[in-house]
């Protein structure tokens, strides 16, 4: 008994993302706090940690869109389905200004860098500039041929702004001119645009593509990214400008390094994503989804650095560390206290030759779902002892359902298949006589049969493909050898003719 060796759990390679500095950084965002937004004709403003709106603007006759703050945080503007742009003082509730001039819904609103003008884009294919003090329209541009659904104003120049449209085009406008100054073909309906802090680069999103344009080279395409499986709906930049985030209807947020535009991390969500934003200093990631939920992730505070001074200890603390700095001498005799090795529940049962109970222990929900490799290792150990059949026999409907469910989930996994195929054969052999006695067991057996038949079919197709590839490679190799032989016989003749020419 004392010589019992615990079951060795094989270490399988974990498939997944490589742990990098970015992985550790973005994983520090806490579990999301979720807010259900149901009032489409209202705009709710939430505090950093509030679960109830601290401010509500409800002066809209129809659905409100694209609420945005001015840089100083004192004014707030939004578009509306009824084609009006409304301007609010953040400390009040009534609208300060209502800009009427569009003929269809306004989906784009942004403040220009001088803080006294607003740019808007609408489903009437136009973009307009409004004067805040006078409440009047300054200029209008109607160059797009479809809905204008995204745009942004320059933060460095008081006259530049960008619009993106469902006509697949991104345009750069200068308020001092009457026409656009630059046009970029995105080739898909444009859902989001943004300018880098230096404004030398522009990013557009539409379809499954995120494209980066070099503005200093006249809007030349710098890179085209296709990392999403569905339409990309929103873009944003981290506060440092070193990370670009894109959200999509495929329920993923991808994070790219702006140095090489490779994906460094990814967030998964429960529903398709419509909009995405980062709070200042990247304290929060905010995502709006198609199920009416606003998902907010807060970043955990950073841990204390190693070079920071340690906290002051209580005077009695020295009693517990007495002798810790003692340096051993040559004549010292060390008396080590044996450390008692604590073994797992299944090891304790196996040590007592209780194979059936050990199998029950590793088929518990927490073990079989969280650590399936432990369950498989114990099954393999029981099989090595020659008691697998006895451990599997005598199961009731619930226990047998548990075993069959585990087999259905893992039997075709390459790392577990050599062991679980044997377990499956034993289960079928033992319980074939109880077929048609339980509808639950019958359904699980049918699922297992269907799974194994499909896997056999896949393996047969794979063998056919491998056979064709072997034939193809053999043909290519033979052709290569033939061509190399011909070239060898031809080269000396060429060299000889050149030598004759040189001698003459």
Assigned domain for 292 exists: yes
What per-residue confidence (pLDDT) applies to 504? 31
All residues at 6 or more sequence positions from 410 whose CB lies less than 8 Å from its CB, including other chains = 372, 376, 416, 420
Do 193 and 133 lie in one domain? The reply is yes
Do 88 and 151 lie in one domain? The reply is yes
Do 147 and 34 lie in one domain? The reply is yes
Write out the E strands in 175-292.
180-185, 192-195, 201-206, 209-214, 220-225, 232-237, 243-248, 252-257, 263-268, 273-278, 284-289
What per-residue confidence (pLDDT) applies to 189? 95
> Comparing 10-24, 220-234, 372-386, which segment has the lowest mean pLDDT?
10-24
C-alpha 184/C-alpha 168 separation (Å) is 9
Do 252 and 384 lie in one domain? The reply is no
Q: Which residues of 343-353 are buried (b: 16+ CB within 10 A; e: fewer)?
A: ebebbbbbeee
The count of other CB atoms within 10 Å of the CB of residue 407 is 22
Q: Domain end: 243, 276, 298, which one? A: 298
318-328 pLDDT per residue, tens: 555 555 556 66
Looking at the predicted structure, is the pLDDT value of residue 148 above 90? yes
pTM to 2 decimals? 0.59
What per-residue confidence (pLDDT) applies to 491? 39
Q: How confident is the model at residue 490 (pLDDT cuts 50, 70, 90)?
A: very low
C-alpha 230/C-alpha 95 separation (Å) is 38
Do 240 and 158 lie in one domain? The reply is yes
Averaged pLDDT, 184-210: 93
What residues make up the domain containing 138? 23-298
**CATH number of the domain where residue 387 is located:** 1.25.40
Q: How confident is the model at residue 206 (pLDDT cuts 50, 70, 90)?
A: very high
Assigned domain for 308 exists: no
What per-residue confidence (pLDDT) applies to 145? 93
272-318 pLDDT per residue, tens: 999 998 887 888 888 988 888 888 888 776 665 556 666 665 555 55
Please give the tally of structural domains in the chain.
2
Do 294 and 350 lie in one domain? The reply is no
Q: How confident is the model at residue 503 (pLDDT cuts 50, 70, 90)?
A: very low
Do 349 and 293 lie in one domain? The reply is no
Please name which of 94, 189, 96, 102 lies closest in space to residue 150, comparing C-alpha atoms: 189
Do 257 and 401 lie in one domain? The reply is no
Task: Tell me how far the alpha carbon of residue 350 is from its chain's centroid.
Answer: 42
Of residues 476 and 143, more confidence is placed in 143
Do 269 and 379 lie in one domain? The reply is no
C-alpha 93/C-alpha 127 separation (Å) is 27
**CATH number of the domain where residue 280 is located:** 2.130.10.10
Do 136 and 35 lie in one domain? The reply is yes
Do 68 and 156 lie in one domain? The reply is yes
213-238 pLDDT per residue, tens: 999 998 999 999 999 999 999 999 99
What per-residue confidence (pLDDT) applies to 493? 40
C-alpha 426/C-alpha 431 separation (Å) is 9
Supply the mean pLDDT for the chain. Answer: 83
Looking at the predicted structure, is the pLDDT value of residue 178 above 50? yes
């Amino acid at each position: 008994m004392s010589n019992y060796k615990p079951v060795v759990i094989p270490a399988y390679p974990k498939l997944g993302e490589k742990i990098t500095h970015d992985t550790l950084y973005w994983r520090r965002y806490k579990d999301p706090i979720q807010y259900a937004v149901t009032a489409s004709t209202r705009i709710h403003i939430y505090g950093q940690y509030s679960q109830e709106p601290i401010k509500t603007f409800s002066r809209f006759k129809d659905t409100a869109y694209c609420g945005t703050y001015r840089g100083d945080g004192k004014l707030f503007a939004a578009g509306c389905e009824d084609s009006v742009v409304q301007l609010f003082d953040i400390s009040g509730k009534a609208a300060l200004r209502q800009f009427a001039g569009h003929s269809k819904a306004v989906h784009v609103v942004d403040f220009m860098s001088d803080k006294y003008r607003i740019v808007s884009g609408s489903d009437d294919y136009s973009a307009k500039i409004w004067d805040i003090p006078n409440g009047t329209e300054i200029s209008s541009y109607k160059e797009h041929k479809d809905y204008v659904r995204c745009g942004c104003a320059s933060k460095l120049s008081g006259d530049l702004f960008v619009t993106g449209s469902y006509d697949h085009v991104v345009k750069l406008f200068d308020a001092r001119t009457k026409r656009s100054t630059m046009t970029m073909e995105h080739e898909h309906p444009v859902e989001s645009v943004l300018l880098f802090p230096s404004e030398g680069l522009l990013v557009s999103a539409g379809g499954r593509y995120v494209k980066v344009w070099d503005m200093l080279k006249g809007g030349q395409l710098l890179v085209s990214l296709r990392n999403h499986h569905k339409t990309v709906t929103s873009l944003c930049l981290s506060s440092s400008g070193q990370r670009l985030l894109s959200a999509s209807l495929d329920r993923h947020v991808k994070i790219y390094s702006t140095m090489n535009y490779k994906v460094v991390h990814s967030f998964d969500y429960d529903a398709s994503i419509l909009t995405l934003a980062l709070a200042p200093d990247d304290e929060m990631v905010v995502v709006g989804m198609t199920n009416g939920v606003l998902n907010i992730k807060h970043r955990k505070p950073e841990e204390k650095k190693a070079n920071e001074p340690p906290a002051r200890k209580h005077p009695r603390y020295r009693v517990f560390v007495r002798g810790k700095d003692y340096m051993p001498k040559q004549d010292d005799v060390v008396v080590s206290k044996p450390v008692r090795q604590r073994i797992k529940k299944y090891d304790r049962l196996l040590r007592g030759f209780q194979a059936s109970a050990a199998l029950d222990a590793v088929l518990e929900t927490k073990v079989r779902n969280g650590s399936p490799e432990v369950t498989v290792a114990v099954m393999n150990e029981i099989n090595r002892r020659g008691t697998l059949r006895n451990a599997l026999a005598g199961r009731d409907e619930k226990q047998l359902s548990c075993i069959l469910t585990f087999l259905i989930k893992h039997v075709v996994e390459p790392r577990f298949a050599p062991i679980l195929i044997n377990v499956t054969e034993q289960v079928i052999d033992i319980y074939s006589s109880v077929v048609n006695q339980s509808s639950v067991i019958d359904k699980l057996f049918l699922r297992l049969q269907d799974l194994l038949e499909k896997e056999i079919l896949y393996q047969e197709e794979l063998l056919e493909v491998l056979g064709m590839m072997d034939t193809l490679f053999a043909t290519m190799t033979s052709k290569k050898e033939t061509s190399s032989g011909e070239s060898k016989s031809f080269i000396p003749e060429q060299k000889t003719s050149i030598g004759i020419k040189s001698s003459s």
